[in-house]
Structures are given as C-alpha cells and as structure tokens.
Structure 1
Amino acid sequence: MQPVLTEKEEKRNTVIEPEEENWDLVIEPKHSLLDLKLKELWKYQDLLWLWVRREYVGAYKQTIMGPLWHFFSPIFGTLTYILIFGKIADLSTGGVPMFLFYNAGIAIWNFFNGCFSSSSGAFLSNAGIFGKVYFPRLIMPMASVISTLIKFGIQISLFLVVYLYVILAQDYRPDVGLGLFYVPLSLFLLAGIGFGFGIIVSSVTTKYRDLNMLVGFGMQLLMYATPIIYTYSSVDPDLKKYLALNPLVAPVEAFKHAVFGIGDFSAYSLLYSFCWMVVLLLLGIVLFNKAEKNFMDIV
C-alpha cells in the first residue's frame, strides 16, 4: 500500500520539464578573423542609420551656426591657401581658377581625412557603449564614413555653385566630358583607403595610445605628399616616382580630371590604389576583429 502524499509533497516531487528555449539572438565567439557577419550587419541597419543621424546631428546640437560650418570652414581654408600657396609661393594650378582649385582640393582631402579620423577613433570614443550592449562593432566606423559622405555633399555644393558661376561669368571652359564618371570612383577609393587605414589605427591604438600623436603628424605629411595644393604634373620627374607610391595620388588626380579636365593618372595607377584599398580593408578587418575580443579588458 503506497503512502498518501500531501499536496506540498506532490509539488516537490513533480519533475518540471524545461520549456524549449527560443532566443532572438545568440552571441557566439568569432571563429575566424575574417568573419564579417554581413547578415548581422544587415539586421542592424536601423541602428546604422540612427548612428549616422547621431553623428551628424549630435555634432552641431549646441552650436550657433550648425551645419553652416561646412561652408565657412572650406571658404576660410581656400582663402588661406590662395594667399599662401597661390600668391606667396606662386604654385601653378594648371590653368584652373585658384578658388576652384583649392576649394576642390580641400573638399576631397576633408572627405578622406574624415573617413580616416572617424574610423580611427571607433573603439576609444565608444568604449562606454561597447561595454553596455551588444551590436556589431563594425557599425560604428561604417556610420562615420556615411556621415563623412554627407558632409562632403554639403561642402561640394559650395564648390558647384562657384564652379557654375565661373563657367557662366568668366572665360573658363573645363574639358570634362565623360570624365565626370571618375568622381564616384575617386570617392570609392578614398573612402575605402581611409576606412581601412582608420580601423587599423583604431585597433592598434586601443593598446598603444601614444601612437595617436604619431598618426596626427603622419597625416599632415601625407597631405603634402598628395597633390592637393599643387598639380601633380608640375612635380619634378625625379620626385614623381616617389610620390607615385602614395595610393591617394591616383584618386585625387582622377577627381581633378573629372571636374577640371586636368590630372595625371592612368588605369595602372588606379589599379594600384585599388589593391592598396583591398589590402588595407582585409588587414583592418582582421585587426579589428582581433582587438574586439579583448577590447573591454584592455580599456
């Protein structure tokens, strides 16, 4: 005869079967340094565009002129370049009006520098957010590049207004033609090189932060090694072979060819820049994924 159990004893002896777990997201360690998880990046596209808006709106939320700084900054920079490099140094602009030449150079350099600088600070500037919630970390530098592209669009609109005025009011007829198709190619190469180089620096400087000072100095030298304030065709032939090692030369010259009809580049030089972009992106993604695993422990 079996003993009669009370209600409490029956509940205690009852085996509760666990319910089937159905998680929306399972966070797993990366098995490969080249694991991009593109599907995951696509899933978080809303976060990407929210971050782009934050990058753009947040930067000017407590300012007087807001996005108008995108107009004033290149204007003042262009006037300074005209005075120093156009009037005092008397550098050739290849027959292009000085304001147009230097304004275009500032716009294209600011675009590359913005892609690089915003990507290079992806880890350190967002350390607080990385430690609180999970999301694909690569979204941060990607959002910065898109935000930089928007800023470039604002700056280049000023250039286009002056460009059209000079064409209509002065005797200046640039031979551009189908060369305008080089503009998206130039921006693509500059954005890829800046993004790849930036995430490399971001990955390395999480541990060795004093390298930021060296990088800032190196970017100044890189600007003068790129034909921004001078024409590449005016460079001494013996010096050209060294400047040609700079992967930024070809896309910058392609941009000048697109808007002014001048520019010393070739399909080989564009391919050389493209190879640099691919190598920098692959190396940057490897280092970024490696640094991401131990980032919070280092910081």
Structure 2
Amino acid sequence: MNQENTDNDNWDLVIKPKSSLLEIPWRDIWNYRDLLRMFVKRDIVTVYKQTILGPIWYVLQPIMTTIVYIVVFGNIAGISTDGLPKVLFYLSGVVIWNYFAESFNQTSVTFRDNAGLFGKVYFPRLIMPLSKITSALIKFGIQFGLFLVFYFYFIFVGNETIQPNINILLLPLYILMMAGYGLGFGIIFTSLTSKYKDLNFLIVFGVQLLMYATPVIYPMSSVPEKYRMFLQANPITPIVEGFRYSLLGSGSFGWNSLAYSVGVLVVLMIAGVVIFNRTEKTFIDTV
C-alpha cells in the first residue's frame, strides 16, 4: 500500500476535488444527514420564532390567498372552475404551486445567504438546497392537510362534482416532480446570481408571472384553443393539472404530457447539477 493510501486510511473524511461536473456526492450527503436535519429544523423554527401566530401562518396564508382568488377570479372575473367548489379548485392549485414557489425561492439564494458559512467549513454544498426542499415539504404537508379537511367535507355532504380516480396513486410523483423543478431552477439561479446580482430582482417577479402561465387559478378548459399550446409547453402545467385531476376528477391528464414534463425535469436537473458544481468551485471569489 502506498503512502497516499496509508495517509487516507487514517482520516474519517478525505476531501477531494470533483472529478466530473455531473458528480453528486451521495455518500457525503448521507454522512451529513444530521446536518441536513439541523438545517431543516432551523428553517422551520426560526422563520416564525418571533411572530405572534407562529406556524399558524402556514395555514392562514393559503386560506387568505384562496379567499382572494374566490372573490377576484371566481366572483368578479367569473372565471370557471369546471363546476367544482371554488374553495377546492383554488386551494388545490395554491397548495401544489406554493410548494414549487417556496422551494424555488429558498434554493435560489443558497450561495448568497450562506457565503459566510461556505467559506468557513466543509460540507456537501447540496445539503443546503436539499434542506430547503425538505422544509418546504413539511410546509406543503400542513397545507395539504388543510386541503383535505375541505376535501372530505364536500365528499361527506355528497358533492357529486368531486370524482377522485385511480390517478390519485400518482400524487407522490407530482410532489416529487414539483420538488425537482424547485430544486433544479433554484440551484441554477443561485449559481447565476452569485455572479450576476441583478438576477435576484427577476426571481420573485418571474415566479409570479410563471404562475399565471400555469393553470393554477383557471382550468385549461377556459383557455382558448389557440393559446393552449403555450400553456402545454410549460412543463409544470401537467403537474398542476394532474394533481387536480387525480383528486377532483376535473382537469386534463395524459401520459404524453407527463412524460414531457419528466423529460424536461431530467434535463433541468442535469443542467442544474453541472452549473452548481462549476460555480461551487469559485463562488467565494465572486459573492
């Protein structure tokens, strides 16, 4: 055994440069799982630590958003909900969209908000965006529970417009895909904003515009035929539509559109990992 291997065997952790831009340090991420849990706990506890209502905001935010959508888009604008109870239609869209938006917004500032920490100690940098996705998943779980309260109420009172179907088995896939899109877009933008600061102003505005280009507050059936191709080009559209269709029986579902969304997600994640790994090597010099 040569001297290099002997030296390496005396250490619990040997830090080496990545051999490929596509390399993901799965073993390091697993070894640092306690740190991941700590970051998730920090995100959940500190956000509402000095607030009056605390975690209740997790519930109030989708309720207030849904009420605004019902009044503005449902009553004033008269946008169709395909005959579904308005609270279920809007809340279903709000809950799944919020998960994407929260994941994207939080991961998109990974380098900017943690530059000091990254410059002092080693840990797999992907731990940080993964912690944001996980903490956002907890928030999603609470809000989805709120949706289920209304959902089972309308089923109990015998509302026949609600038609859950076998596609409900795809719910974990839709949630996983939303996490993937939030993570993919997030790590790309955090890599770019470490050098181009003005892109930070685009993120919040861009997420809001993207929501209007996704059938969150309106059904695909209400969109004129000549414009549907643009919405169908949005890879998040099949996720929102499929999520709503599996629970409520209203919306559109197609294996081709789902496969398209999965394909775009794979490309996005590959691009995100490559850009993230490349930026990770030099970002301390640019932030």
Aligned residue for 1:33? 21
CA contact (8 A) 2:214 2:236 kept: yes
One-letter code of the match for 1:136?
Answer: P
Q: Please say if 1:75 is aligned against 2:63.
A: yes
Q: Please say if 1:282 is aligned against 2:274.
A: no
SS in 1 for 2:195: coil
Q: Deviations over 1:238-281 (max 9, x none)?
A: 10011111001001111011110012121010011101111111
Question: d(CA) in 2 for partners of 1:283 and 1:93?
Answer: 36
Note the C-alpha offset of 1:51.
1.1
One-letter code of the match for 1:283?
Answer: A
One-letter code of the match for 2:243?
Answer: F
Q: Please say if 1:64 is aligned against 2:52.
A: yes
One-letter code of the match for 1:260?
Answer: L
Question: d(CA) in 1 for partners of 2:207 and 2:266?
Answer: 20
Q: Please say if 1:129 is aligned against 2:117.
A: yes
Q: Please say if 1:86 is aligned against 2:86.
A: no
CA contact (8 A) 1:167 1:173 kept: no
Q: Which of residues 239, 254, 276 in structure 1 aligns to 2:242?
A: 254
Q: Deviations over 1:33-73 (max 9, x none)?
A: 11112111111111111111111111121112111001111
One-letter code of the match for 1:280?
Answer: L
Q: Which of residues 42, 45, 51 in structure 1 aligns to 2:33?
A: 45
One-letter code of the match for 1:91?
Answer: I
CA contact (8 A) 2:214 2:231 kept: yes
Question: d(CA) in 2 for partners of 1:177 and 1:232?
Answer: 19
Give the aligned CA root-mean-square deviation in angstroms: 1.2
Moved more, 95-104 or 163-172: 163-172
SS in 2 for 1:216: helix
Aligned residues: 280
Q: Please say if 1:172 is aligned against 2:160.
A: yes
For residues 1-299 of structure 1, the aligned pairs below 5 Å read 21=7, 22-299=10-287
One-letter code of the match for 2:175?
Answer: L
Question: d(CA) in 2 for partners of 1:294 and 1:214?
Answer: 23
SS in 1 for 2:56: helix
Question: d(CA) in 1 for partners of 2:176 and 2:221?
Answer: 23
Using the size of structure 1 for normalisation, the TM-score is 0.91
CA contact (8 A) 2:165 2:247 kept: no
One-letter code of the match for 1:156?
Answer: F
Question: d(CA) in 1 for partners of 2:236 and 2:204?
Answer: 17
Question: d(CA) in 1 for partners of 2:271 and 2:187?
Answer: 9
Question: d(CA) in 2 for partners of 1:177 and 1:35?
Answer: 40
Question: d(CA) in 2 for partners of 1:171 and 1:141?
Answer: 41
Using the size of structure 2 for normalisation, the TM-score is 0.95
SS in 1 for 2:230: helix
Q: Deviations over 1:104-155 (max 9, x none)?
A: 1111110110111111111111111111110000000001001111000001
Question: d(CA) in 1 for partners of 2:194 and 2:285?
Answer: 10
**Structure 1 unaligned runs (5+)?**
1-19
SS in 2 for 1:108: helix
SS in 2 for 1:210: helix
SS in 2 for 1:134: coil
Question: d(CA) in 1 for partners of 2:269 and 2:165?
Answer: 32
Question: d(CA) in 2 for partners of 1:210 and 1:159?
Answer: 37
CA contact (8 A) 2:103 2:179 kept: yes
SS in 2 for 1:26: coil
Q: Identify if the C-alpha distance between structure 1 residues 239 and 173 changes in structure 2 by more than 3 Å, giving closer, same or farther.
A: closer
Identity of aligned residues (%): 50
Question: d(CA) in 1 for partners of 2:264 and 2:66?
Answer: 30
